[in-house]
Amino acid sequence: MAKYIMQRILAMLVTLFIIITIGFMVIRLMPGGIFDDAVDMTYEQRTALEAKYNLDKPIPIQYAMFLKGLVLEGDWGTSLKMYVNVPVWDVIKTKIPVTLYINFFSLIISLPLGIILGIVAAIRKNTMTDYLISFLVVIFISVPSFIFATLLQYFVAFKAGLFPIIYDATASGWDKFYCLFLPIMALSLGPIARVTRYLRAELAETINSDFMLLAKTKGLTERQATINHGIRNSMLPLMNIIVPMFTSIMGGSLVIETIFSIPGMGGIMVKSINAPDYTVTLAALIFYSVVSLVTVLIVDLSYGIVDPRVRMGGKK
């Protein structure tokens, strides 16, 4: 097991290195420069700034210097446009908590609700309950999360006045969750639908399998067989969609944070691309990559917990 964990961590680090390398090259090879829109800046001033931030050096040398600072010194670089001369880490460390807050609660809400609805739809297959849940699943999957965010913001926040229209950065504790409830729900609807659809299909197939019939012949009621055997066996394939579900939540938060004026990583990434501010954009990319890769690692390791038949890293 320890060997397997080390192999997965090493693979994660290699993948992260590849992502950082490709991201750095793509960002630096984009047309235009950071100071091209500074019309009031003289040629000498622009040259001096490029030399100060090593932008006059070849891209491979820039990358080597960035990687050395990041790995050996923990230096993420300096913001060049959005927060001039401010270290990038000082910028993003205040943005990360609110983004993780939104995505964490969206995932926490999505999984249990999706599992419950999937179980109900599978047990009551081909009934009105199943048809209603399936109809909602189609709607939630088809409509993008930012559309739900806009509708919730207009009808629930603006018209009904039940929640704040935009995020209050001074809120804390319960007030913070209250301010973020609408963006959290907007991000949760799609994942809830995906979990429901996937689990319904898996559990409906499992209920009609041979081992479920055997469990019933041994004296278990249909409810006992479903709870003790059917649901557990249907949960393992569900792990395959947690990673894309979490990454879709992270991707959706890029736009939803802008809609609700949430000062998180999504908003700062969009602004840094438009600025442009290379170092901030790359830092945001690294953040999203690390979160996604860690999620993949957790899901891989959780297979052994969900299904005891899986023996990861065992001897041949």
* Tens-place pLDDT, residues 17-27: 999 999 999 88
262 closest CA partner among 91, 95, 86, 90: 95
The answer on pLDDT for 207 being more than 80 is no
* Architecture field, domain 96-263: Orthogonal Bundle (1.10)
* Tens-place pLDDT, residues 111-133: 899 989 988 888 888 899 999 99
Record the tokens describing residue 107, joined without a space: 């995932």
Please list, in sequence order, all residues whose beta carbon lies within 8 angstroms of the beta carbon of residue 140, skipping any fewer than 6 positions away: 189, 190, 192, 193
Beta bridge partner(s), residue 78? 87
pLDDT at position 55? 79
Q: Which of 19-23, 104-108, 299-303, 308-312 has the lowest mean pLDDT?
A: 308-312
The answer on pLDDT for 304 being more than 70 is no
Identity of the amino acid at 226? T
pLDDT at position 100? 86
pLDDT at position 157? 92
User: What's the CA gap between 1 and 312, in Å, rounded?
Assistant: 6
H/E stretch holding 179 reads helix 174-207
Q: Which of 34-43, 86-95, 246-255 has the lowest mean pLDDT?
A: 34-43
Identity of the amino acid at 293? L
Identity of the amino acid at 227? I
Q: What is the mean pLDDT of residues 281-287?
A: 89
| Residue 266 half-sphere exposure toward CB, CA atoms < 13 A | 24
Q: What is the mean pLDDT of residues 44-51?
A: 78
The answer on pLDDT for 181 being more than 90 is yes
Omega within 30 of 0 (cis) for the link into 276: yes
Prediction pTM value:
0.78
What are the sequence ranges of the domains in the chain? 96-263
**Is 268 in contact with 92 (CB distance < 8 Å)?**
yes
pLDDT at position 22? 93
| Residue 113 half-sphere exposure toward CB, CA atoms < 13 A | 16
The answer on pLDDT for 312 being more than 60 is no
Identity of the amino acid at 303? Y
| Higher local confidence (pLDDT), 102 or 227 | 102
| Higher local confidence (pLDDT), 171 or 162 | 162
pLDDT at position 56? 80
> What's the whole-number average pLDDT of the chain?
82
pLDDT at position 234? 75
Hunting for tokens 């210097």 — which residue is that?
A: 65
User: What's the CA gap between 12 and 17, in Å, rounded?
Assistant: 9
Running DSSP on this structure, what letter comes out for residue 158? I
Task: Measure Cα distances from 200 to 48, 150, 188, 270, 300 in Å.
Answer: 62, 29, 18, 37, 23
Q: For residues 87-106, b (16+ Cβ closer than 10 Å) or e, as one string?
A: ebeebbeebeebbbbbbebb
pLDDT at position 168? 85
